[in-house]
Amino acid sequence: MLGKGNERKQIGRGSGGQVGIAACVVVLAVWAGAGAQAQIPTDGLAVWLKADAGVTVTGTSVTRWADQSGNSRDASQTLNTLFQPALVPNAINGLPAVHFDGINDYLSFVLPVNNLSSMTICMVAANMSNQTSASPYCRNAALFWNETASWGTVYVIPFQGSVMWRFGTTQTNNWPTYTRPASIGTSYSITITRKDGTTDTLYVNRVRVQAQGGKLQRIAACINTANIGRGYQNTFYNGRVAELIIYTKALSDTERQQVEQYLIGRYFSVNQPPTAPTNPRATSGDGSVLLSWDASSGQVSSYRVYQSLTAGGPYTLATSTTALSVRVTGLTNGTRYYFVIRAYNPAGESPNSQEVSAVPESGVSLRARSWYEYE
Delimiting residues of CATH 2.60.120.200 domain(s) in the chain: 8-267
C-alpha distances out from residue 145 to 101, 207, 261, Å: 19, 25, 27
User: Which position has the higher pLDDT, 208 or 31?
Assistant: 208
Q: How far is CA 348 from the centre of its chain?
A: 14
User: Which position has the higher pLDDT, 29 or 325?
Assistant: 325
pTM of structure = 0.69
Residue-wise pLDDT for 235-252, tens only, equals 999 999 999 999 999 999
Of 28-42, 68-82, 137-151, the least confident: 28-42
- Between 1.20.1050.10, 2.60.40.10, 3.40.50.300, 3.40.190.10, what CATH number should domain 278-374 receive? 2.60.40.10
Domain 8-267 sits in CATH at: 2.60.120.200
Using a 10 angstrom Cβ sphere, with 0-12 exposed, 13-18 middle and 19 or more buried, the burial of residue 166 is buried
Residue-wise pLDDT for 332-375, tens only, equals 999 999 999 999 887 788 999 999 999 999 875 444 444 433 33
Residue-wise pLDDT for 99-152, tens only, equals 999 999 999 999 999 999 999 999 999 999 988 876 778 999 999 999 999 999
Count CB-CB contacts under 10 A for residue 312: 11
- The per-residue pLDDT for 27 is 27
- The per-residue pLDDT for 145 is 98
User: Can the peptide bond before residue 176 be classed as cis, meaning omega within 30 degrees of 0?
Assistant: no
- The mean of the pLDDT values for the chain is 86
Under the phi-then-psi rule, with left for phi > 0, alpha for psi from -120 to 50, and beta for the rest, what region is 312?
Answer: left
Delimiting residues of CATH 2.60.40.10 domain(s) in the chain: 278-374
Q: CA 155, CA 148: separation in Å to the nearest integer?
A: 14
Count CB-CB contacts under 10 A for residue 36: 20
